[in-house]
Chain A
Amino acid sequence: GEDVEQSLFLSVREGDSSVINCTYTDSSSTYLYWYKQEPGAGLQLLTYIFSNMDMKQDQRLTVLLNKKDKHLSLRIADTQTGDSAIYFCAESTGNQAGTALIFGKGTTLSVSS
């Protein structure tokens, strides 16, 4: 079945770059997503990438997709303390009507000053 794997924790210093990695299993996924969850809050969509793209950049965020290896990464440049949160990788379960998302367990990013 579908599965999304992420490392559970990442700790960086303020100003450094953060790279959060994710592997997925469903090669038919149309979209791949990164969500951010701050303490006590819901999930906020950060960015997504279509499966025919290799890279997407949005300000401090860079998403890289290696479809051959089913590997997705999120790079946050100049990481700030406000970036401390849980980051979820998610894949769509296919491109048929009515598909849902499969989420990883989330990577907790801790940024120290």
Chain B
Amino acid sequence: DAGVIQSPRHEVTEMGQEVTLRCKPISGHNSLFWYRQTMMRGLELLIYFNNNVPIDDSGMPEDRFSAKMPNASFSTLKIQPSEPRDSAVYFCASSQRLAGVIKTQYFGPGTRLLVL
């Protein structure tokens, strides 16, 4: 398997622009997670989906952030409008939920976002 695929790997944009990050989970996995990593705050869970349904979005910082999972093989995280403080590495992870218990999460390589 190719693992979790994220695109783009790097994104540089100007404040106010819309940014869309993409993720393809591992085939057969039914849970998908979006994380943000910064030096100051470490790794933060933004939102996660089970069977394409958002379960917990309490980590989404503001209404400028939105995430969708239209099908089992694709998810997007959108920031509109972007701000310099959104600069971070954004990770997508997926896992397989068995008998109600999520086991290991597999991470993508991340998208490094820089908002100028």
A interface residues with partner B (beta carbon < 8 Å): 30-31, 33, 35, 41-45, 48, 88, 92, 95-106
The 13 listed contacts between A and B (C-beta, < 8 Å) are A31-B104, A41-B109, A41-B110, A42-B91, A42-B110, A43-B43, A45-B107, A48-B104, A100-B56, A100-B102, A101-B33, A104-B42, A105-B42
CB pair B106–A98 under 8 Å, yes or no, is no
Q: Interface size on B (CB < 8 Å)?
A: 24
CB pair B43–A103 under 8 Å, yes or no, is yes
Chain B residue nearest in CB terms to A35:
B107
Complex formed: what's the CA distance from A102 to B102 in Å?
13
CB pair B43–A98 under 8 Å, yes or no, is no
Chain B residue nearest in CB terms to A6:
B42
Give the residues in chain B near A92, CB-CB below 8 Å: 101-102
CB pair A99–B43 under 8 Å, yes or no, is no
Rank and list the top 6 A-B pairs by shortest CB-CB distance, nearest first.
A105-B42, A97-B100, A42-B107, A43-B107, A103-B43, A98-B55
Complex formed: what's the CA distance from A109 to B31 in Å?
30
Question: Given A43-B91, A100-B33, A101-B45, do A95 and B101 touch, yes or no (CB 8 Å)?
Answer: yes
Tell me the minimal C-beta distance from A48 to chain B in angstroms: 6
Give the residues in chain B near A88, CB-CB below 8 Å: 43
The listed residue with most B CB atoms (<10 A of its CB), out of A48, A99, A102, A106, is: A99
CB pair B42–A103 under 8 Å, yes or no, is yes
Tell me the minimal C-beta distance from A25 to chain B in angstroms: 16
Out of B42, B48, B103, which one reaches A98, CB within 8 Å?
Answer: B48
CB pair A33–B104 under 8 Å, yes or no, is yes
